[in-house]
Amino acid sequence: MSQSFKVLFFIRRGKKFNQEKAPINARVTINGERAEWSVQRYCDPKKWNQKTARRNGMGEESKSLNSFLDALQGNIFSIQKEYMLKNIPLTSDMVRQKILHKEKTLQRTLIEVYKYHNDQFKELVGLQFSEGTFKKFKSALKSVENFIKWKFKRDDMYLTELNYQFITDYEFYLKSVQKMQHNSAIGNLKKLKKIVRICVANKWLEQDPFYVYKMSIKPTHRNFLFKEELEKLEAKNFSIARLELVKDIFLFSCYTGLAYTDIMNLKKQDINVGIDGELWIFTKRCKTDNDSRIPLLPVPKEIINKYHNHPTIVRQVFVLPKISNQRLNSYLKEITDLCQFNKELTFHCARHTFATTVTLSNGVPIETVGKMLGHSSLRTTQLYAKIIDRKVSDDMKLLNEKLKVIEIKKEETL
C-alpha cells in the first residue's frame, strides 16, 4: 500500500505572540490531507531555521529543543512503519491522535515526578519512614532543582531529556558547586536513581540513564571512645545541668547502641522483662524499622532511674528528657573540650562505641551485635569488626616499636 507521507515542523506566527516566543507546530500530510497540532514548545522566530525546521545554534537550549523534535519525528515515522507493516491505511488525523496520546506520557517532567514521590513519602512518615529520611529527600530534590537552573537555565527537565551526561554533570555539580563530600554526593545520586527507576517501571522512561553509571561509597573513619575514655566520661560530673543530661543520654547510647531518634522515641512500655528474667529494651529502629532487642546493662539502668521523676517526663510516656539533635551535638563539643578528648565527638559516636568498645572488644559475637544494633545486613556490622582489627594492628605496631627499642638498648649494654 503506497501513501505519500510528509512531516514538517514550523513556528506559528501571530499578533498574540511576542517576537521572542512563537509556538512550534507539527504538520503531517498523508495523500494530500493535513493534520496539525502544537508540540508544546516555543522558539524565538529569529533563531528558527525554516529550511532545516530546527532551531539554530549549538547551545543547550537549541540542543534540547532539536533533540525533542528529532525524537518526535522518529515517533511519527514509527507509527507510519507500524501501519505499513500491518497493511492498514493511515490518515494524518490518526497520526495526530496517536502522537497526542503518547505526548501525555512524554510531557512528564523530572521535578514533577520527584515532588509526587516526596508527597507520598511524607504521608508515610511515622508509619513506614522517619522524618529524618523525608528531610533528606526534600534536600535532594532541592539540589536537583538548583542543578537544572545552574546547568540549563530552566526550572525543570522532561524525562525524555535524561541521559548519562545529565547524571555525570549532576555529580560534578554536587561536588564542585555545592562542595559536597563524595559520600554525600553519592547519597543524593542514589535518591535520584530511585526516582528514575520509578519512571522506568511506569514506562515513562524507555532507558535507565543509570544503567552504566557506577556508584561507590568510600570508607569513612568512625570515631568512638576507647575504654579509658569511656570510663573517664562516666566518672566526670558536670555542674551544668544541660551538660549532665547530654552526658547521660550519650552514655545511654554507648551502652545500648540506640541512635538519637530511637532514644528520643523510647517509651517506658518498650522496657520489659526478657527471656533471662532481666530488663530488656524491645523496640524498632526508626531508620530501618528492624527489631532491636537489647539487654539493659547497669549504666543505662542507673540513667533510667536517675530521670524517672524528672519533671519533663514524669507525666509522659518517654524514658528520657527530650533535646534536639542540633543542641545535643553542640553540647557534646563542650563536653569534648572539658574531658580533653583528642577527637571530635558527635552523638553517633556513642553507637560506634557500643559496637566496638562495649561489645565486640569484649568478645560479644558479631551476629549478636548486629541484632542489637538492628542492622539489616551483617556486612554493616562487619565494618565495626574492621575498626577493631585496625585498633589491634595499631596497638601491635606500637608494641613492636617498643620491643625494638628494648632490643637496641640490650645490644648497647653488651
Average pLDDT, the chain: 86
CATH code of 332's domain: 1.10.443.10
Mean pLDDT of 157-179: 91
What pTM value is reported for the model?
A: 0.58
Domain final position from 106, 126, 157: 106
Q: Are residues 92 and 120 in the same domain?
A: no
Q: Are residues 309 and 169 in the same domain?
A: no
At 175, the pLDDT band (50, 70, 90 cuts) reads very high
Q: Is the pLDDT of residue 94 over 80?
A: yes
Q: Are residues 307 and 350 in the same domain?
A: yes
Q: Is the pLDDT of residue 414 over 80?
A: no
Mean pLDDT of 362-390: 75
Measured CA to CA, the distance from residue 48 to residue 331 in angstroms comes to 62
Percent of the chain with pLDDT over 90: 42
Q: Are residues 369 and 263 in the same domain?
A: yes
Q: Are residues 17 and 154 in the same domain?
A: no
Q: Is the pLDDT of residue 408 over 80?
A: no
Q: Report pLDDT digits (tens) over 31-61.
A: 989 999 988 888 989 899 999 999 999 888 8
Give pairs for 50-53: CB < 8 Å, separation 24+.
50/10, 53/8, 53/9, 53/10
Residue 401 lies in a domain: no
More confident residue, 33 or 221: 33
Residue 297 lies in a domain: yes
What residues make up the domain containing 328?
Answer: 227-395
Q: What is the pLDDT of residue 51?
A: 92
Residue 249 lies in a domain: yes
Mean pLDDT of 203-213: 87
Domain final position from 89, 106, 123: 106
Q: Is the pLDDT of residue 169 over 80?
A: yes
Mean pLDDT of 6-31: 82
Q: Are residues 260 and 378 in the same domain?
A: yes
Percent of the chain with pLDDT over 70: 92
Mean pLDDT of 336-346: 89
Q: How many CB atoms lie within 10 A of CB 238?
A: 17
Q: Is the pLDDT of residue 220 over 70?
A: no
Q: Crossing angle, helix 110-123 and helix 131-152, to 10 degrees?
A: 170
Mean pLDDT of 82-101: 82
Q: Are residues 153 and 280 in the same domain?
A: no
Mean pLDDT of 272-283: 90
Q: Are residues 95 and 130 in the same domain?
A: no
Measured CA to CA, the distance from residue 280 to residue 272 in angstroms comes to 6
At 90, the pLDDT band (50, 70, 90 cuts) reads confident
Q: What is the pLDDT of residue 403?
A: 80
| Three-state DSSP string of the chain | CCCCEEEEEEECCCCCCCCCCEEEEEEEEECCEEEEEEEEEEECHHHEECCCCEECCCCHHHHHHHHHHHHHHHHHHHHHHHHHHCCCCCCHHHHHHHHHHHHHHHCCEHHHHHHHHHHHHHHCECCCECHHHHHHHHHHHHHHHHHHHHHHCCCCCEHHHCCHHHHHHHHHHHHHCCCCCHHHHHHHHHHHHHHHHHHHHCCCCCCCCCCCCCCCCCCCCCCCCCHHHHHHHHHCCCCCHHHHHHHHHHHHHHCCCCCHHHHHCCEHHHEEECCCCCEEEEEECCCCCCEEEEECCHHHHHHHHHCCCCCCCCCCCECCCCCCHHHHHHHHHHHHHHHCCCCCCCCHHHHHHHHHHHHHHHCCCHHHHHHHHCCCCHHHHHHHHHHHHHHHHHHHHHHHHHHHHHHHHHHHHC
Mean pLDDT of 174-186: 93
Rounded CA Rg of the chain: 32
Q: Are residues 188 and 238 in the same domain?
A: no
At 393, the pLDDT band (50, 70, 90 cuts) reads low
Highest mean pLDDT among 148-157, 164-173, 346-355: 164-173
Q: Is the pLDDT of residue 289 over 80?
A: no
Q: What is the pLDDT of residue 97?
A: 82
Measured CA to CA, the distance from residue 335 to residue 322 in angstroms comes to 18
Q: Report pLDDT digits (tens) over 234-249.
A: 999 999 999 999 999 9
Q: Are residues 327 and 379 in the same domain?
A: yes
